[in-house]
A and B are shown apart, each in its own frame.
Chain A
Amino acid sequence: MQSVLTRRMLAFAVAAGLLFGASHVIAQPAAAPGQITIDNFAFEPANLTIKAGTTVEWLNRDEEPHTVVGVDPALPFKSPALDTGDKYSQRFDKPGTYKYFCSIHSHMVGTIVVQ
């Protein structure tokens, strides 16, 4: 009896943990204004408007690695390969429109508008 109870409590604890973990992950991307996630070969949001001085952080949640590479020669930025769960940050100080893409999957493109 003791062991059955313990097992049930364990199962409950694991299930609760999973639920909490799942909702926590889903809630995360919307939290910070400068946050972009990578899911299923797409930047989300693909177009992000921020205030000058904001640091944007990209989080790769794909099983596939990605990169974040700026196109504008005035602000060259280039992440290393971001494996699953890896993050990369870039601060934007000057107003303007900055396009970027994934240099491994060049059909993945995004834009940062700095006001």
Chain B
Amino acid sequence: MSHLKSDGPKTGNVTTRGASRRSVMACLAWAGAGVVWTVSGGIPKSLGLGGDAIAAQAGGFSFVQISDSHIGFKGDVNPTPGVTLQQALDDIAKLPTPPAMLVHTGDVTHLSKAEEFDAADQILKGAKRDIHYVPGEHDVIGDDGTRFFARFAKDATPGGWYSFDQGGVHFVALVNVLNFKPGTGGSLGAAQIEWLEKDLHDRGASTPIVVLAHMPLWPIYPSWGWSTDDSAQAMGHLKRFGSVTVLNGHIHQVVQKVEGTVALYTARSTAFPQPPAGEGKGPGPMPIAADKLKSVLGIRQIEIVPTTAAAVKDQTLA
């Protein structure tokens, strides 16, 4: 928090649809810890630590995103993901601007086991705040998400998706990890996209929209499953809004893109890193020295400013 970068994002590197690997790399190069930026009319610009950020805090509403806690993971890179999740919550408790609530963008557990859901729930209750969840593919193994939805999204529609309003923002929580077909990426499905269209229909274009989903809602690297096949249809219903912030997990690293008034961000994990797109043999846990682990895990605070801006600030657990 205390060493936010003042050299903000280079918008020239912001990728367009169908990001090439090189442009993804370019994004990763500057997506370091503690970048502050504001999205005003869809165009991100950098914020210093001083006046702008404080002004943003004064009039706005703030929440925190955590993701990919993978409770139950036992791999060498982090055999105790419960400990790093707890540290994420401890770091959130220390934020100078207390968040109104939390969102968790999926892969709460590693294997969808009842005991993993229990363990995760026990830790996450310690946040002492509302947490809004969307499932990851690790949360719906074998039961199409029955255990996940019963515990973490009781008020969702029968399909698991839902929306709510808080702080003047309309939040849409989508499910793109069910009904996978061989050889495809994530999927929203026709019923959910139809629901989204109806859910957004009567809302004014000036309403700030935040979309939550586990898998990226743009094709970052489809051959590793880092995409959602029908995301373009969902985006079509969002582009008329003046400020849309899409928050995803799944790839365990920060990648960002702006398309018109829609800004899309993937998040760090609280458990373990994954390699940059296309580097190495696959999207599994990336080995890293134990003393470097926390520098690649993280949380994200989002501050919504009335009328135009969403400031997104990533920080690591280091």
Contact flags A81-92 to B (C-beta < 8 A → 1, else 0)? 101100000000
Among residues of B, the one whose C-beta sits closest to the C-beta of A104 is B137
Given contacts A101-B182, A103-B180, A109-B182, contact A65 B141 (CB under 8 A): yes
| A62: B residues at CB distance < 8 A | 282, 284
| Contact yes or no, B111 A81, CB < 8 A | yes
Contact flags B164-192 to A (C-beta < 8 A → 1, else 0)? 00000000000000001111110000000
| Contact yes or no, B141 A81, CB < 8 A | yes
| A41: B residues at CB distance < 8 A | 224, 281-284
In this assembly, does B142 line the interface, its C-beta being within 8 Å of a C-beta of chain A? yes
Question: Which of A103, A106, A107 is B141 in contact with, Cβ under 8 Å?
Answer: A103
B2 smallest CB distance to A (angstroms): 35
| Contact yes or no, A67 B225, CB < 8 A | no
Among residues of A, the one whose C-beta sits closest to the C-beta of B223 is A107
B113 smallest CB distance to A (angstroms): 8
Q: In the docked arrangement, what's the CA distance between A2 and B181, Å?
A: 63
| Contact yes or no, A63 B183, CB < 8 A | no
Given contacts A84-B75, A105-B225, A107-B225, contact A99 B141 (CB under 8 A): no
* Residue among B74, B113, B225 with most chain A CB within 10 A: B225
| Contact yes or no, A107 B183, CB < 8 A | yes
In this assembly, does B104 line the interface, its C-beta being within 8 Å of a C-beta of chain A? no
In this assembly, does A14 line the interface, its C-beta being within 8 Å of a C-beta of chain B? no
Contact flags B99-121 to A (C-beta < 8 A → 1, else 0)? 00000000000111100000000
Query: At the interface, is chain A mostly helix, strand, loop or mixed?
Result: loop
In this assembly, does B32 line the interface, its C-beta being within 8 Å of a C-beta of chain A? no
| Contact yes or no, B185 A65, CB < 8 A | no
| A42: B residues at CB distance < 8 A | 282
In this assembly, does A93 line the interface, its C-beta being within 8 Å of a C-beta of chain B? no
| B74: A residues at CB distance < 8 A | 84
| Contact yes or no, A63 B284, CB < 8 A | yes
Among residues of B, the one whose C-beta sits closest to the C-beta of A80 is B142
B78 smallest CB distance to A (angstroms): 11
In this assembly, does A9 line the interface, its C-beta being within 8 Å of a C-beta of chain B? no
Q: In the docked arrangement, what's the CA distance between A27 and B225, Å?
A: 31
Contact flags B223-240 to A (C-beta < 8 A → 1, else 0)? 111000000000000000
* Further 10 A-B residue pairs, CB within 8 A, beyond A101-B181, A101-B182: A40-B281, A41-B281, A62-B284, A99-B182, A101-B183, A104-B138, A106-B184, A107-B183, A107-B223, A109-B182
Of the A-B pairs whose beta carbons lie under 8 Å apart in the complex, a sample of 10, sorted by A's number, is: A40-B284, A41-B281, A65-B141, A67-B142, A81-B111, A81-B142, A101-B181, A103-B141, A104-B138, A106-B185
Give chain B's interface residues, CB within 8 Å of chain A. Answer: 74-76, 110-113, 137-138, 141-142, 180-185, 222-225, 281-285
Give chain A's interface residues, CB within 8 Å of chain B. Answer: 40-42, 62-65, 67, 71, 78, 80-81, 83-84, 99-101, 103-107, 109
